[in-house]
Structure 1
Amino acid sequence: MKNTRIKSLTVAFLTAIILSVSSCSDDFLEEQPRGVFTPEFFTTELGVQGGLTYLYENMRYIYGFAYFLNLGETGTDEYCAAQSANNNFYDLDLAGRGNLNSQSGFSIGRPWGNAFPAINTASGIIENAEAVGLQNSIIAEARFFRAFNYFLLVQTYGGVPLDLGSGELKFNNSAVRTSTRNTVAEVYTKGIFPDLEQAVADLPESPRLTGTVTKNVARLYLAKAYLTYAWWLENPNNIPTYPETTRTDPNGNNASYYFQQAYDLAVAGIDNPGPYSLQEYYYDLHLATNDRNSEMMLYADRTEESQIYNGGASLGWTGPGDGGAPNTAVWMVTSNYTTISVDGVAAVQREAAQSYGRPWTRMAPSINVFTETFADKQLDSRYDGTFVSSYRGNWDKGGNDSPTLTAANGMEIAPGDAVISFLDEYDADVDYSVNGGNIGGGQLPGRSDYVINLNQINRRFYPGLWKLGTYRTDNGGGLGSPNGAITRPFPIAKFSEFYFVAAEAAVKGASGAYSPRELINVIRARAGKWRFDNGEQKERIEDNSDAMVAATPAEIDINYILAERSREYFGEGKRWYDLVRTQKWNELAGSYEIAGNDATDHSPTVTTRTILPHHYLRPIPQNQLDALDMTEEEKAAYQNPGY
């Protein structure tokens, strides 16, 4: 195959920098739009500052964009296609209604299209560092992001090109149409490990500015990269790789070596936390008023201050197909709660508040999520701190001055009362014949809210994802602007991940000061602490830490680690990568249970997925293949097999 290189890589880089060149303020990255940017400008101090800020800004184009959760969640044991899904979601659900291919929707191409411009930007910063007089700590930020983006690419597509036109890991400033894919091992050992190792050495303990990367952020990603590469070397289920190569390490190390490296680094991160720490309560971790807390190590930031500085995302109205960097991913997993009608009134209206937001209803959690993953809803606070389990009346904020409405069992409810709730425990006495609230809710004696059993949810109405929900400070006591892009930061990496990486590596044979059970129990003990009941919307001071720790199995395995990861990071776009890394995708997500598309359907059925070995890599996006100057046979060879 002749050497081929992708034309759009450099073009995308130049375009992105033109859109947002930035300088740094004393405390925050400050974006300054600029109309002209050339490669020569990039050799100046101002240009390098702009390039650095772009590396942070670019995360918004992946993390939180409308179809981000589709990419990382649909087709897993967390989410399936919902009532309003289209082929963007059916393709990735692998349940017989779609056909995953190189032209599938808006999801599969986003990492490819956005990571390479960032990689090229980082290479430019690194190459111009000496001439510009950059400190090693600043260069280390660029090294981190080059590795960060290559890590995302290699997990998603397999081996990818290290040479963008001017040589491996070199800054390219000319449009070329040739490309050669490196092997997975080459991407890790040449492109990811060296950059992250240098970043760990050179980055400061505390962030240079709010939200910038640190030594411990680099430690976490190096540990995650070692862990993922160790699984790739081991290949327990004989999943194919591409480009085809033997599963050997160029440096002569085996999987056990890298599992140990991952463990050691993760433990070093725990023992040397710097400015990071676990939040005392899981609820506080995702409470919108507590964003950018000590546990959030890396996030794609947004702002309510300006549309320009929100990645161009509208603060008033944003559609699912809008370009740019709007944070709208959570709306895809929001059910259509706005159809709840009580006493002839739209009792639960669209609101710019964490439990509500805009209902696009494209993805639904399966019943298995609530009966298996989150089976414990009394001791473990993570179900309550993840989902919207009760939708409450807000008709007063919409201009209706009715003091009460007549709801279930002829009882009165006021604004702020639960209109419809999902029951923590199954109750066989729920009477669905009343079609309560026009959303398929049933009645239970003595309750004024309509109710639904969690093992009877459907693709139309289900618990929303509270943890990532909408938040604004400018609602003025009303419904606010629920159709505007979410202005919260989107979480990418958390301090808690050190415990999971170390525990997973230990299960795979790594040894050290902490056992897998000890590591996981730090997380489970925190999960047992309550200070507020989100479903009941009232204070709840309760510490179930001892009971949570006691319930942890004496010997834990990979499936238990994955279950805990799902409880901790549910709906954050990590799940597909977790299942692919551990090669547990088909085992844990090969089927799911949920009822149909009608609100009144409470008779679930089992859906089987067809997850094939080639699905463990996403297809190279067709528009990138079309830009290559190569024959159809060569393009077919460039594409991942099976697509």
Structure 2
Amino acid sequence: MKRFKIKTVIGATAAALLLGACGDILEEQPRSGFEPSFFQTERGVYGGLTSMYAHLRYIYGQAYYYNTTLTGTDEVTYGQSADENFLVMDLSGRGAINPTNSRADALWGAAYSNINTASGIIENAAVVGTISPALIAEARFFRAFDYFQLVQTFGGVPLDLGAGELRFNTNPVRTSVRNTVPEVYTKAIFPDLLTAVNDLPATSRVTGGATKTLARLYLAKAYLTYAWWLENPNNIPTYPEAQRVDPDGHNAQWYFQQAYDVATTGIDDPGPFGLLDYYYDVNLGSNDRNKEIMLYADHTETSEFYNGSSLTYANGGAPDNFAGWMMTWNYTEIRSSSSSTSWNAVSSVQREAVQHLGRPWTRMAPTIGAIKNTFADKTNDSRYDGTFVTVYRGNWPKGGVANSTLYNANLLPVQPGDAILTFLNDEPATPITYPTGGGQNNVGAGVLPGRADFVVSPNGISRIMYPGLWKLGPYRTDNGNGLGQPNAASTRPFNIAKFSELYFVAAEAAVKGASTQAGKTARDLINVIRARAGKWRWDNNGNVAKVQDNSAAMVAATPATIDINYILAERSREYFGEGYRWFDLVRTQKWNELASTYQISGAAKGDHTPETITRTIQPHHYLRPIPQGQLDAMDVSLAEKRAYQNPGYN
């Protein structure tokens, strides 16, 4: 397969009723609009399809949208440098979510651009005569993909962009009507995905392209999510108002069964996809685009043009991949000493373009509960080690500091590569001595007798100091012997869909009553994931080989009866910080139960006293507000705009 390169030109289109424009790529020629005849050529169809992969970069890796998928959940709260966009998402009294600061607008604008392009291909490509059903199925997949993301986020959304439901629109329209949730699923998402499953190939036509297994995953996820919506266990309101009745006459249990059946078919008939042997390898930068990753928003360090971003510096904005900066605290403030007798501060951990470090923004922080409870087993389970950065090692020679030895905690000597600061796995038997304020190390980390590294325990995690998110850290091959380009956005792909999720979808459906196959009960499926998590080949934070198989212990520790809360805990261990959590808690209506309180220490250096914070999660928060830009674009009365907006956000 050829390497997939993305060339993007975003043009304005007549689908102006919805934010954004019909995104298209065709060499480097920007266009102000597209007629159906454009998609009646091979050039137009292939250009439109390429733009569909490119549009993913305007959503995934866009840090403000990333924030909306995590902040306010049991995984993540706001960090010390958070601005309004992050503060309000926490729902802890730091401001209210509104149509302007919600930043789910990143999804709305990019999705509707792409939906209109997809409709243009679906309607017109057959005229060309040389366009296969498989190519048209790629457009169907992406139209369904975008509608699925939209309906989960906003509730019912428009199927008519001005030319009729699911029709390609070429005329500017300043009005809009929202469809109901059942209409979006049964008219758009399910039909498109069923066709995509049927017509897409097992192996993608381009690297990273849509496949039959990918379509099965999203069909199973859509069935699962819609089943929960029909069941509505906690009476969460929907909008536009609609009875929880399926137009096709099926009940929630039917859809749970469909989710199980489709997901297990994907497991049994995986095509080129499958689980890797070790969890560590799934998110390892040098192993990107591996067989477990079925869809990603691509980037590259070989070309700024194909990367969609500068290779040397980025300010943070789509299509940059800068989500990984958000949960990176300012480790660059760590200081050691050049003297063994008195404290003479030297920067010992400098900003570097490597996966453990990268560019710090301190906008988001993991909760103490995520570190202590979600990842309670840090010995057998490799996923904590394969998720977080807990050891910050000296790299001062790369920054021009000539000293071969520095002196650190207890004025003990350290060499390059040694641990300078460590977030401990557990509370130590000997209490940590923390400084007042920043202390000698300048970041407020503590000291334990006999240790050369400064330390912080799980209870000491704060809004300004916390384990970093290794998963999303940068990976470059052009650093040479220096620090590389740590101020650039990540040139790694942002992972969107993983083969492993088929196991979780099937297991969740089984818990909800789906009839199961032999060897594929909820516990069986989860244990495939847990057994893999118990296998180690590398101690990430120890930076040393570790060949160890704890799979038997992991399987033995799995409860005999799996419930939804256990599924959600396993999903958090598997996908922490990847943008799944808000959708998981909203789908299962467990948000208030699992995330209404959390613990973290404050935003000042040296503050290591945990506080319990209460969130006010109201039923209307289960939908995000329609973006203000969409309302402003509509030429309708104020009353109609208010009726268009989700309740609670006017």
TM-score range, shorter chain: over 0.9
Q: 1:445 aligns with which of 445, 449, 465?
A: 449
Indicate if the aligned counterparts of 2:87 and 2:95 stay in contact, CA closer than 8 A. Answer: yes
Relative to structure 1, the CA distance from residue 607 to residue 6 in structure 2 (aligned partners, 3 Å threshold; closer, same or farther) is farther
Cross-structure match for 2:314:
318
Q: How does 1:126-525 map to 2 (within 5 A)?
A: 126-133=122-129, 134-311=131-308, 313-320=309-316, 322=317, 324-343=318-337, 344-427=345-428, 428-433=430-435, 435-513=439-517, 514-525=520-531
What is the rounded CA distance, in whole Å, between the counterparts of 1:95 and 1:380 in structure 2? 32
Say whether 1:598 aligns with 2:599. no
What is the rounded CA distance, in whole Å, between the counterparts of 2:43 and 2:407 in structure 1? 63
Cross-structure match for 1:26:
none
Cross-structure match for 1:114:
110
Aligned length: 622
Indicate if the aligned counterparts of 2:116 and 2:169 stay in contact, CA closer than 8 A. Answer: yes
What is the rounded CA distance, in whole Å, between the counterparts of 1:579 and 1:429 in structure 2? 36
Give RMSD over aligned pairs: 1.3
What is the rounded CA distance, in whole Å, between the counterparts of 1:247 and 1:307 in structure 2? 48
Once the two structures are superposed, residues 307-364 of structure 1 have per-residue CA deviations (whole angstroms, 9 ceiling, x without a partner) of 11112x11111113x3x30000110111110100111111111100001111000000
Once the two structures are superposed, residues 203-244 of structure 1 have per-residue CA deviations (whole angstroms, 9 ceiling, x without a partner) of 111111101011000000000000000000000000000000
Q: 1:543 aligns with which of 549, 562, 565?
A: 549
What is the rounded CA distance, in whole Å, between the counterparts of 2:545 and 2:496 in structure 1? 29
Indicate if the aligned counterparts of 1:10 and 1:174 stay in contact, CA closer than 8 A. Answer: no
Say whether 1:90 aligns with 2:87. yes
Indicate if the aligned counterparts of 1:13 and 1:121 stay in contact, CA closer than 8 A. Answer: no
What is the rounded CA distance, in whole Å, between the counterparts of 1:108 and 1:35 in structure 2? 26
Cross-structure match for 1:29:
none
Once the two structures are superposed, residues 578-631 of structure 1 have per-residue CA deviations (whole angstroms, 9 ceiling, x without a partner) of 000000000000011001011200101011000000000000001110110100
Q: CA deviation at 1:540?
A: 0.6
Cross-structure match for 1:579:
585
Q: Which region of structure 1 is more displaced relative to structure 2, 126-135 or 270-279?
A: 126-135
What is the rounded CA distance, in whole Å, between the counterparts of 1:6 and 1:250 in structure 2? 31
TM norm structure 1: 0.95
Q: CA deviation at 1:436?
A: 4.8
Q: CA deviation at 1:173?
A: 1.1
Secondary structure of residue in 2 paired with 1:70: helix
Indicate if the aligned counterparts of 1:525 and 1:548 stay in contact, CA closer than 8 A. Answer: yes
Indicate if the aligned counterparts of 2:19 and 2:629 stay in contact, CA closer than 8 A. Answer: no
Q: CA deviation at 1:141?
A: 0.5
Q: CA deviation at 1:41?
A: 2.6
Secondary structure of residue in 1 paired with 2:435: strand
What is the rounded CA distance, in whole Å, between the counterparts of 1:158 and 1:6 in structure 2? 24
Indicate if the aligned counterparts of 2:84 and 2:95 stay in contact, CA closer than 8 A. Answer: yes
Indicate if the aligned counterparts of 1:9 and 1:117 stay in contact, CA closer than 8 A. Answer: no
After the TM superposition, list the runs of 4 or more consecutive aligned residues in structure 1 that deviate by more than 4 angstroms. Answer: none
TM norm structure 2: 0.94
Relative to structure 1, the CA distance from residue 11 to residue 282 in structure 2 (aligned partners, 3 Å threshold; closer, same or farther) is closer
What is the rounded CA distance, in whole Å, between the counterparts of 1:386 and 1:606 in structure 2? 24
Q: How does 1:25-44 map to 2 (within 5 A)?
A: 32-36=27-31, 38-39=34-35, 40-44=37-41
What is the rounded CA distance, in whole Å, between the counterparts of 1:11 and 1:254 in structure 2? 34
Q: What amino acid is aligned across from residue 427 of structure 2 in structure 1? A: Y
What is the rounded CA distance, in whole Å, between the counterparts of 2:83 and 2:643 in structure 1? 30
Once the two structures are superposed, residues 137-196 of structure 1 have per-residue CA deviations (whole angstroms, 9 ceiling, x without a partner) of 111100000000000000000000111111111111111111110000000000000000
What is the rounded CA distance, in whole Å, between the counterparts of 2:15 and 2:217 in structure 1? 33
What is the rounded CA distance, in whole Å, between the counterparts of 2:28 and 2:54 in structure 1? 12
Q: CA deviation at 1:635?
A: 0.2
What is the rounded CA distance, in whole Å, between the counterparts of 1:631 and 1:596 in structure 2? 45
What is the rounded CA distance, in whole Å, between the counterparts of 2:390 and 2:622 in structure 1? 33
Cross-structure match for 1:27:
none
Indicate if the aligned counterparts of 1:6 and 1:177 stay in contact, CA closer than 8 A. Answer: no
Indicate if the aligned counterparts of 1:7 and 1:177 stay in contact, CA closer than 8 A. Answer: no
What is the rounded CA distance, in whole Å, between the counterparts of 2:228 and 2:42 in structure 1? 41
Secondary structure of residue in 2 paired with 1:592: strand
Relative to structure 1, the CA distance from residue 596 to residue 8 in structure 2 (aligned partners, 3 Å threshold; closer, same or farther) is same
Q: CA deviation at 1:43?
A: 2.4
Cross-structure match for 1:71:
68
Secondary structure of residue in 2 paired with 1:433: coil
Indicate if the aligned counterparts of 1:385 and 1:467 stay in contact, CA closer than 8 A. Answer: yes
Q: CA deviation at 1:11?
A: 7.8
Q: CA deviation at 1:68?
A: 2.9
Secondary structure of residue in 1 paired with 2:399: coil
Q: CA deviation at 1:548?
A: 0.1
Q: CA deviation at 1:34?
A: 2.1
What is the rounded CA distance, in whole Å, between the counterparts of 1:193 and 1:41 in structure 2? 27
Cross-structure match for 1:123:
119
